[in-house]
């Protein structure tokens, strides 16, 4: 799981002149993560059916892209909510503040796993984190030894690990603006990097170089940026039996008849293995809400009450049916209280 480093953000909030009491928008605007998108969309559709408010508009722009739009300013021209498959970054908090966006509420909605999937027309694969790093990093430790890097020489999976297939490395994955990409490099690529002791020590002695080595994906065609549309990746996997795709567990659940998740460190991605943390590539999912828009955008508070209700995100909730891995009951209670009060709360994962 992502490590949470908590800092308190104290905000004194006042409505800005940009927010008119006579709102020109009568629906909630949500942008952000394509992984969080299906969960928030289901909640939005349910909300539109059972309340007097309009169905919120939900757009998949990627976590980074969504937070940029969210941070652009206060007022009806800017989104009310940003979905993210990673915690907001310090640089994004500063970008928000520079544009007057200060009263932000962070709400974790549950967990998801990142899968490396292929079509069911071929065999399920098993990877170690080291395999993933060696296959996808732009530069890797010299196979001949020593503490130096060389451009990635591996062309096939068998080059990486003799137990893997003798087929070309071809992985369809998210772009840099995606929270899935951020989580993938942090959980999978860093996990593989740490198998090399001399690289692992750089985490404390030269963090910038460590991240450069571990986070930089190769650009020679082995990794193909497939945009924010995970459904498109699934379609391409069914058409190409040698290709692999990186996306959230929820999309695996929705397409289980077509694709299968690879085992990571001998553990298959399942609801249970993600919930108990045994599946190594799993992460929390968040939504960020502007307090300045509460009372201005109709239904914003009520929508937050809906998505954090037990019937939605609980263990037997309708979001669980869509693949959301629920938080434990005490954690749900904490974030539900934050949602009901829409108070500025602590940001997790900000350094």
pLDDT (tens digit per residue) in 232-252: 888 899 999 999 999 888 888
So what's the pLDDT on residue 26? 94
Question: Does pLDDT of 36 surpass 60?
Answer: yes
Question: pLDDT tens digits, residue range 168-190?
Answer: 999 999 888 888 888 899 999 99
Q: Which residues pair with 267 in a beta bridge?
A: 264
Q: Is the pLDDT of residue 14 over 90?
A: no
Whether the predicted pLDDT of 93 surpasses 50: yes
**pLDDT per residue over 247-267, tens digit each?**
888 888 889 999 999 999 999
Mean pLDDT of all residues belonging to the chain: 88
Vertex 67: Cα angle to 344 and 337 (nearest 5)? 30
Q: Please, is 261 exposed, middle or buried when counting C-beta atoms within 10 Å of its C-beta (0-12, 13-18, 19+)?
A: buried
| Cβ atoms 275, 300 nearer than 8 A | no
Instruction: Give the range among 105-114, 281-290, 336-345 with minimum mean pLDDT.
Output: 336-345
Q: Which domains does the chain have, with CATH numbers?
A: 6-112+284-348 (3.40.190.10), 113-282 (3.40.190.10)
Considering only 48-57, 200-209, 225-234, 303-312, which range has the smallest mean pLDDT?
225-234
SS3 content of the chain, % helix, strand, coil (to 5): 35, 20, 45
> What was the pLDDT predicted at 72?
97
Identify the bridge partners of residue 285 per DSSP, sorted by sequence position.
Answer: 110
For residues 23 and 88, which has the higher predicted lDDT (pLDDT)? 88
pLDDT at residue 344 above 60? no
Cβ pair 1, 336 in contact under 8 A: no
Q: How confident is the model at residue 191 (pLDDT cuts 50, 70, 90)?
A: very high
pLDDT category, 164, cuts 50, 70, 90?
very high
pLDDT over threshold 60, residue 17: no
Q: C-alpha distances in angstroms, 68 versus 81, 98, 264?
A: 12, 12, 32
pLDDT higher than 80, residue 3:
no
Q: Which long-range contacts (CB under 8 A, 24 or more apart) does 14-19 make?
A: 15/292, 15/296, 16/74, 16/75, 16/100, 16/292, 18/73, 18/74, 18/75, 18/100, 19/74, 19/75, 19/76, 19/292, 19/293, 19/296
Helix (H, G, I), strand (E, B) or coil at 200: helix
pLDDT band at 13 (very low <50, low <70, confident <90, very high): very low
Evaluate if residue 108 carries a pLDDT over 60.
Answer: yes
More confident residue, 7 or 216: 216
Q: Tell me which of 79-88, 196-205, 222-231, 330-339 is least confident.
A: 222-231
Taking alpha carbons only, the member of 164, 184, 161 closest to residue 172 is 184
Tell me the backbone φ, ψ of residue 139, rounded to 5 degrees. Answer: -130, 140
* Band (35; pLDDT cuts 50, 70, 90): confident
Mean pLDDT within 147-161: 97
Distance between CA atoms of residues 40 and 56, nearest Å = 9
Residue 348: its pLDDT value, please? 36
Asked if 70 contacts 100 with a C-beta cutoff of 8 angstroms, the reply is no
pLDDT band at 20 (very low <50, low <70, confident <90, very high): very low
The pLDDT value recorded for residue 168 is 97
- CA dihedral over 341, 315, 49, 229, signed as positive or negative: positive
Buried b (16+ CB within 10 A) or exposed e, 121-139: eeeebbbbbbbbbbbbbbe
């Amino acid at each position: 799981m992502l490590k949470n480093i908590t800092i308190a953000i104290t905000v004194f909030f006042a409505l800005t002149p940009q927010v008119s009491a006579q709102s020109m928008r009568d629906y909630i605007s949500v942008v952000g993560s394509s992984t969080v998108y299906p969960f928030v969309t289901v909640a939005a559709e349910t909300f539109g059916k059972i309340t007097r408010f309009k169905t919120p508009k939900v757009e998949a722009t990627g976590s980074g892209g969504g937070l940029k739009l969210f941070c652009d300013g206060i007022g009806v021209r800017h989104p009310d909510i940003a979905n993210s498959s990673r915690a907001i970054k310090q640089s994004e908090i500063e970008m928000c503040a520079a544009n007057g966006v200060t009263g932000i509420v962070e709400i974790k909605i549950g967990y998801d796993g990142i899968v490396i999937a292929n079509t069911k027309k071929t065999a399920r694969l098993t990877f170690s984190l080291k395999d993933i790093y060696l296959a996808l990093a732009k530069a890797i430790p010299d196979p001949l030894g020593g503490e130096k890097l060389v451009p990635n020489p591996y062309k096939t999976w068998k080059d990486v690990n003799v137990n893997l297939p003798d087929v070309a490395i071809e992985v369809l994955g998210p772009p840099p603006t995606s929270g899935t990409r951020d989580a993938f490099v942090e959980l999978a690529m860093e996990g593989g990097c740490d198998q090399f002791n001399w690289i692992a020590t750089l985490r404390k002695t030269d963090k910038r170089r460590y991240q450069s080595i571990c986070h930089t994906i190769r650009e020679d065609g082995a990794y193909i940026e497939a945009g924010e549309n995970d459904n498109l990746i699934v379609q391409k996997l069914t058409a190409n039996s040698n290709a692999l795709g990186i996306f959230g567990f929820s999309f695996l659940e929705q397409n289980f008849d077509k694709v299968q998740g690879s085992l990571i460190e001998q553990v298959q991605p399942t609801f249970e293995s993600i919930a108990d943390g045994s599946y190594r590539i799993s992460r929390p999912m968040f939504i960020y809400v502007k307090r300045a828009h509460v009372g201005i955008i109709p239904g914003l508070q009520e929508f937050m009450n809906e998505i954090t209700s037990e019937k939605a995100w609980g263990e037997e909730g309708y979001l669980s049916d869509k693949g959301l891995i629920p938080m434990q009951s005490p954690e749900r209670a904490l974030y539900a209280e934050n949602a009901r009060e829409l108070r500025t709360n602590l940001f997790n994962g900000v350094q």
